């Protein structure tokens, strides 16, 4: 049974005083996750003002529709001038995300500390 996608939004000040917004995803990411993935980004009060980190450490499953939503989010963030980094992906999803070209829009890191510095 599919788990509902949840997103907790955290903010912090990064290197050089830049705003860092962190989307902490949990559950599964699929076509049913559109509001959680895209809606959360679209509701950000200030876009294009800093860095966006996507935390996948508590994501159990991502299907092809979920990957498409992540790509849409990355494209919207790119258009808004956001620098995006991903972390917490399993080795399998690191490989899949690289194969589908997500690295054109965002860097993939092992953990939050390295993503915050990247």
Name all domains of the chain by residue range, CATH numbers in brackets.
Answer: 6-117 (3.30.750.24)
Dihedral sign computed on CA atoms, order 103, 61, 70, 6: negative
pLDDT grade, residue 19 (50/70/90)?
A: confident
Category of 62 on φ-ψ map: left (φ > 0), alpha (ψ -120 to 50) or beta: beta
Task: Name which of 8-22, 50-64, 93-107 the model is least confident about.
Answer: 8-22
pTM greater than the 0.85 cutoff: yes
């Amino acid at each position: 049974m599919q788990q509902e996608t949840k997103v907790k939004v955290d903010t912090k000040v990064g290197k050089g005083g830049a705003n860092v917004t962190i989307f902490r995803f949990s559950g599964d990411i699929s076509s049913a996750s559109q509001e959680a993935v895209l809606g959360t980004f679209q509701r950000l009060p200030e876009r294009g003002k800093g860095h966006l980190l996507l935390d996948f450490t508590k994501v159990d499953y991502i299907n092809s529709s979920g990957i498409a939503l992540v790509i849409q989010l990355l494209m919207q963030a790119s258009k808004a001038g956001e620098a995006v980094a991903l972390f917490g992906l399993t080795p399998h999803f690191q490989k899949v995300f690289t194969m589908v070209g997500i690295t054109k829009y965002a860097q993939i890191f092992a953990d939050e500390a390295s993503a915050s510095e990247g």
